[in-house]
Amino acid sequence: MSKSIKLILCCIAMLLINGHAQAVSDQTTISSSIAEGIIVETVNEGGYTYLCIENNGQTSWAATRGTSFEVGEEVEIASGSVMTNFTSKSLGRTFNTIIFTNRIVKR
């Protein structure tokens, strides 16, 4: 077999393995949430929607781009990046902890 064919087959194999690993990773992410609860406060500012979510007396803040939510809705954050001591210049507010995500699921 020529080197070119071996290289092409090797690249295809790597893409298949990577695609399978990504699918497994996505399934794991979906089955375990970062936060969930009822929205008790929303703020729309600077292209983001900030949500305060309460669960068992604990509150968590999350931010997502341009999605509309209402107080009282039950949501789950499936994945995201947690930031500490994040200052929103547009809100003039610092969050002790906030989750930036594009995966908020209404229940």
Pair (53, 96) in one structural domain? yes
Question: 31 or 5, which is more confident?
Answer: 5
Pair (1, 47) in one structural domain? no
Pair (17, 68) in one structural domain? no
* Residues 2-13 pLDDT 10s: 666 655 654 454
Pair (28, 39) in one structural domain? no
**Three-class secondary structure assignment of the chain:** CCHHHHHHHHHHHHHHHHHHHHHHHHHHHHHCCCEEEEEEEEEEECCEEEEEEEECCEEEEEEEECCCCCCCCEEEEEEEEEEEEEEECCCCEEEEEEEEEEEEEEC
What would the mean pLDDT of 80-88 be, rounded to a whole number? 93
- CA–CA separation, 14 vs 72, rounded Å? 46
* Residues 53-81 pLDDT 10s: 999 999 999 999 978 899 999 999 988 99
Pair (88, 102) in one structural domain? yes
Pair (21, 41) in one structural domain? no
Pair (54, 102) in one structural domain? yes
Residue range of the domain that includes 2: 1-32
The CATH number linked to 55 is 2.40.50
Return the minimum-mean-pLDDT range out of 3-12, 38-47, 69-78, 93-102.
Answer: 3-12
Q: How many domains does the chain have?
A: 2
